[in-house]
Amino acid sequence: MPPGEEQFIPQTRLEPRSELPAPAADAPALTVRNLSVYFGANHVLKQVSLDIAAHAVTAIIGPSGCGKSTFLRALNRMHELTPEAHIDGEIRLFGDDIYSRQVEPVVVRRRVGMVFQKSNPFPTMSVAENVTVGLRLNGIRGRKVLAERTEQSLRMAALWDEVKDRLHAPAVSLSGGQQQRLCIARALAVQPEVLLMDEPASALDPLATARIEDLIVQLKKDYTIVIVTHNMQQAARASDYTAFLYLGELVEFGTTTKIFTNPSQKRTEDYVTGRFG
Amino acid sequence: METHFEMELDSLKQRLLLMASHAETAVNQAVQAFVQRDHDLALRVKEDDRIIDQFEIEIDDLVIQLLTKAPLAANLRLVTVAMKISQNLERIGDEASKIAKRARDLSREAPVKISVDLPRMAAMALGMVKAALDSFVNRDPAAARAIIPRDKEVDALNKQIHEALARHMVAHPDTIGRCLNWMVAAKSLERIADHAKNVAEEVVYLCEAQDIRHAAGKNQGSPAPAA
Amino acid sequence: MTAPNHRWRQFKSAVVQVLTLACAILVITPLVLVFYHLVRLGFSSLNWAFFTQLPRAEGEVGGGMANAIAGTFILLAQAALVGLPIGVLGGIYLSEYGSSHGNWWIRFAADILNGVPSIIWGIVVYALLVVPMHGFSALAGGGVLGLMMIPLVMRTTEEVLQLVPGGYREAALALGIAKWKTIVQIVVRTALKGIVTGVLLALARVAGETAPLLFTALGNQYWAHKLTEPIAAMPLQIFIYAIGPYDDQHRQAWAGALVLLLLILAVNIGVRFLTRDRFQKPS
């Protein structure tokens, strides 16, 4: 095993979730301390600190360009895909420093999964192949295991009943809402601990959106979820905690109820009541 | 530049204030009719109550419309508080109507000689109503909190008046009918004061997001950002 | 909106339509003419002998282009062996790795190479391969065609890979899949049809190159028994016959030209067929 990986729970083994050591009940899933992100000389995120609670849904809201997606992508080191990006500060996943030099981004991303705004099932693969691609390309090939995980993940993504008879149909033959749930199933198949969602329903019609929101609330029993959204009603419906980012700074963070009924900061109040943004 | 939504919220506030002034006027006129035994004024109060009822329907409608637009934070509190205040104002109007009815009944009979200070009680209740509405207009939670203990004074005065009327009825059984009317009027004034207190509690919620109804320590407060 | 205005606009619209139709017809015309000529002049010479026999000695009637046809395939096979891996891997590097500055220079070089006249390629490979090997050879012929393919395949591969939406790469990386696996199993697999198309079209292009072969493969009246011998190829043979004095040679040249064109046509049609849209997506 590469150095440094010993400290992580190996993600390519197949222990069912219940056998993984459970973290302390109120330990936060992610602790972010003084996170700053720079794109070249551009200071995009400024000293953001907050705790993401485990088994809860945290929403990140704010006007366009405030850094919400940047923040989300820092949580699984996806910002490293941009060459000029660099980071200051610390992020710990259940106590493990995800930016430590001994940790490879690949390992982090297996523990912190991501679903994107535009659903992107791989076009050359079938539904089942898409679900298991994360497992197969990481060395897990047992047919029985893959079949079990496929069903399990599709059930968790509330898609099993709709596709169980066409697991081998091309993934792109599904509707938009189904494709997005397929991407969720694909992310869940590698059994991450945290699931990040970047505006997961913004490209969907209201019915599909409602199903995704419902799914999010269901999933938090087993996962920690962080969702970026520009739709405040969605944040109000689906999340337990909300963070308001503005111009790269964390303006306010608290329970969703408080942020939307009685925020402490005037800027939050102004944003939430639509006076700007 | 005000958004369309903000203009609609403003319109809600305006309707509410209009309804409030009608309710205030109703109480004023009802008490006046009672004390001055003015039959015609009393009749007018009863008719004007219909207007107040219409306001309640209209404001409830506006509130539902605004709720479909999913207001948040202070706007959400404003909309729900508006609904409650309009309810309380409608009841104040009803109580004023009741006072007016008693005034009409009394005006047909001979006046009764009781030294009962109904006008003072009326003034106290009216003062509470006015103060509550002012605190809404000025968004002044401290002023709203100050109204709440005054309700106890009105209650005490009501009890006093009640006892005085009871003694009078025992002493002069031929005045029982008329004294009962006075009791009902006093009771209505006590209720009006209660509703004014409710309005004050809603104003505190609107400004500070604190629900002080049915709570023990009603004089503490924590500041919240100006809405 | 008065009536005369409307009619004037209709007239202008019709004029443009007619003009563009005329131009479209003009574009297709040369192809039709070429085909017609080749078929008219070459079809009658296509017989079993043409495809199976070696050329006869000068002046004699009959014989065929069997060695040239085989030679072309052998050269193309060698070219693919060189051009495919280097070109595709180079394209992958340009698209997925490298720095924007360095890649700019590589692309610049490739684009220049794509514009180099083929005869210069021939001369260069003559100096590089023919001289040290002390002779013309099939290897040199395959080599020059392969080298010509490289910048072509590299650029088309890169362009096709760039067309793969970034979302797929991100999704794969977000699943914790290593970068190289992402590129091979997801990106290249998605772009595979395009890459194959690019390779096939590059092959079809170099199949018709004559000038470089003059300096490398040279041509051969007989079968080449080793790759270090000169080898016949169709464009070469057509050239030699066409400038020769004998009518029979001219006849065979026409036939050879027709076969070559049909070969290239077959590749193009084959590519179109393979890359057709097979799925009707529900909206």
Domains with residue ranges and CATH for chain C? 69-274 (1.10.3720.10)
Q: Exposure of C267 by Cβ count < 10 A (0-12 exposed, 13-18 middle, 19+ buried)?
A: middle
pLDDT at residue A20 is higher than 60: no
* Span between the terminal Cα atoms of chain A, in Å: 48
User: Which domain range does residue A211 map to?
Assistant: 5-10+27-272
A211 in a domain, yes or no?
yes
B195 beta partners: none
Residues in chain B: 227
pLDDT at residue A8 is higher than 60: no
Report which DSSP code applies to A25.
T
Instruction: Measure the CA–CA gap between A237 and A210, rounded to whole angstroms.
Output: 10
Nearest to C171 among A173, A183, A190 (CB): A183
Q: What pLDDT does residue B199 have? A: 96
B209 touches chain A (CB under 8 A): yes
Confidence of residue A181 (pLDDT cuts 50, 70, 90): very high
pLDDT at residue C267 is higher than 50: yes
A190 touches chain C (CB under 8 A): yes
Question: Chain A interface, mutation test: which of B7, B68, B72, most A Cβ atoms within 10 Å?
Answer: B72
Of A15-29, B13-27, B110-124, the least confident: A15-29
Q: Are B5 and A236 an interchain contact pair (Cβ–Cβ within 8 Å)?
A: no
A139 touches chain B (CB under 8 A): no
* Host H or E run for residue C84: helix C66-96
Q: Angle CA(A77)–CA(A115)–CA(C177) in degrees, nearest 5?
A: 55
| ipTM entry | 0.86
Nearest to A263 among B3, B70, B73 (CB): B73
Structure tokens, C64 = 């065929």
Question: Chain B interface, mutation test: which of A237, A242, A257, A269, most B Cβ atoms within 10 Å?
Answer: A269
Average pLDDT over residues B34-54: 93
pLDDT at residue C227 is higher than 90: no
* Host H or E run for residue A228: strand A224-228
pLDDT tens profile C191-212: 998 999 999 999 999 998 999 9
Percent of chain B with pLDDT over 70: 94
Domains with residue ranges and CATH for chain B? 4-208 (1.20.58.220)
Q: Are B72 and A232 an interchain contact pair (Cβ–Cβ within 8 Å)?
A: yes
pLDDT at residue C77 is higher than 60: yes
* Host H or E run for residue A33: strand A28-39
Q: What pLDDT does residue A26 have? A: 75
Q: What pLDDT does residue C96 have? A: 92
A16 in a domain, yes or no?
no
B170 touches chain A (CB under 8 A): no
pLDDT at residue A106 is higher than 60: yes
Domain count, chain A: 1
Alpha helices in chain B (DSSP H): 4-36, 39-68, 73-107, 118-138, 141-147, 150-171, 176-208
pLDDT tens profile C34-60: 889 888 988 888 888 888 888 887 777
Nearest to A109 among C169, C174, C192 (CB): C174
User: At C122, is the secondary structure helix, strand, or coil?
Assistant: helix
Instruction: Measure the CA–CA gap between A197 and A112, rounded to whole angstroms.
Output: 11
Q: Are A262 and B77 an interchain contact pair (Cβ–Cβ within 8 Å)?
A: yes
Q: Exposure of B4 by Cβ count < 10 A (0-12 exposed, 13-18 middle, 19+ buried)?
A: exposed
A20 in a domain, yes or no?
no
Provide the chain A residues 9-28 that lie in CB contact (below 8 A) with chain C: 11
Residue in the structure block whose two tokens are 């604190």: B210
Nearest chain B residue to A276 by CA: give it: B3
Q: What pLDDT does residue B139 have? A: 93
Q: What pLDDT does residue C279 have? A: 53
Q: What pLDDT does residue C22 have? A: 96
pLDDT tens profile B75-108: 999 999 999 999 999 999 999 999 999 999 999 8
A89 touches chain C (CB under 8 A): no
A261 in a domain, yes or no?
yes
CB B191 within 8 A of CB B91: yes
pLDDT at residue C117 is higher than 50: yes
Q: Exposure of C213 by Cβ count < 10 A (0-12 exposed, 13-18 middle, 19+ buried)?
A: buried
CB B96 within 8 A of CB B25: no
Q: Are A190 and C175 an interchain contact pair (Cβ–Cβ within 8 Å)?
A: yes
Nearest to A186 by CA among C172, C186, C165, C185: C172
Q: Are A138 and C176 an interchain contact pair (Cβ–Cβ within 8 Å)?
A: yes
pLDDT at residue A9 is higher than 50: no
Determine the residue type at B4.
H
- Residues of chain B positioned with their CB less than 8 A from the CB of A264: 224-225
Average pLDDT over residues B155-159: 95
Nearest to A239 by CA among A265, A268, A219: A219
Chains A, B: CB pairs < 8 Å: 38
Nearest to C168 among A78, A81, A120 (CB): A120
pLDDT at residue A24 is higher than 80: no
Confidence of residue C2 (pLDDT cuts 50, 70, 90): low
* Span between the terminal Cα atoms of chain C, in Å: 39
Q: Are B209 and A265 an interchain contact pair (Cβ–Cβ within 8 Å)?
A: no
The mean pLDDT of chain A is 89
Report which DSSP code applies to A172.
G
Backbone angles phi, psi at A37, to 5 degrees: -125, 130
* Span between the terminal Cα atoms of chain B, in Å: 17
- Residues of chain A positioned with their CB less than 8 A from the CB of B77: 261-262
Q: Are B225 and A264 an interchain contact pair (Cβ–Cβ within 8 Å)?
A: yes
Percent of chain A with pLDDT over 70: 91
Q: What pLDDT does residue C66 have? A: 86
Average pLDDT over residues C127-142: 90
Q: Are strands A57-61 and A85-93 parallel, antiparallel or unpaired?
A: unpaired
Q: What pLDDT does residue A16 have? A: 45
A19 in a domain, yes or no?
no
Q: What pLDDT does residue C59 have? A: 73
Average pLDDT over residues A93-97: 92
B107 touches chain A (CB under 8 A): no
- Residues of chain C positioned with their CB less than 8 A from the CB of A114: 170-171, 174
Confidence of residue B74 (pLDDT cuts 50, 70, 90): very high
A77 touches chain C (CB under 8 A): no
The mean pLDDT of chain C is 89
Cα C119 to Cα C68, C124, C175, C244, C260, distances in angstroms: 20, 9, 50, 21, 20
A40 in a domain, yes or no?
yes
Of A113-122, B127-136, C218-227, the least confident: C218-227
Confidence of residue B227 (pLDDT cuts 50, 70, 90): very low
Q: What is the DSSP string of C35-70?
A: HHHHHHHHGGG-SHHHHH-PBPPTT---B--HHHHH
A175 touches chain C (CB under 8 A): yes
Q: What pLDDT does residue A98 have? A: 93
Q: Are A122 and C168 an interchain contact pair (Cβ–Cβ within 8 Å)?
A: yes
Confidence of residue C278 (pLDDT cuts 50, 70, 90): low
Q: What pLDDT does residue A22 have? A: 47
Structure tokens, A87 = 């980071």
Q: What pLDDT does residue B226 have? A: 45
A209 touches chain C (CB under 8 A): no
Q: Are B73 and A266 an interchain contact pair (Cβ–Cβ within 8 Å)?
A: no
Average pLDDT over residues C72-87: 93
Chains that touch A (3 or more CB pairs under 8 A): B, C
Nearest to A187 among C175, C186, C281 (CB): C175
Average pLDDT over residues A161-171: 94
Q: List the CATH number of the domain containing A71.
A: 3.40.50.300
C10/chain A closest Cα distance in angstroms: 41
Average pLDDT over residues B188-198: 96
Instruction: Measure the CA–CA gap between A101 and A7, rounded to whole angstroms.
Output: 13
Confidence of residue C5 (pLDDT cuts 50, 70, 90): confident
Question: Chain C interface, mutation test: which of A5, A137, A163, A179, most C Cβ atoms within 10 Å?
Answer: A137
Average pLDDT over residues C164-189: 94
Chains that touch B (3 or more CB pairs under 8 A): A
Nearest to B24 by CA among B42, B45, B47, B38: B45
- Residues of chain C positioned with their CB less than 8 A from the CB of A173: 279, 281-282
Q: At what angle are helices A143-156 and A127-136 packed, to 10 degrees?
A: 120
- Residues of chain B positioned with their CB less than 8 A from the CB of A233: 70
Nearest to A78 among C170, C185, C190 (CB): C170
Average pLDDT over residues A80-104: 91
Q: In chain A, count of helices (H) and strands (E)?
A: 10, 10
| Chain centre to alpha carbon of residue B32 | 16
pLDDT at residue B114 is higher than 90: no
Residues in chain A: 277
pLDDT at residue C281 is higher than 50: no
Nearest chain A residue to B223 by CA: give it: A264
Q: What pLDDT does residue B116 have? A: 81
Say if A and B touch: at least 3 Cβ pairs within 8 Å. yes
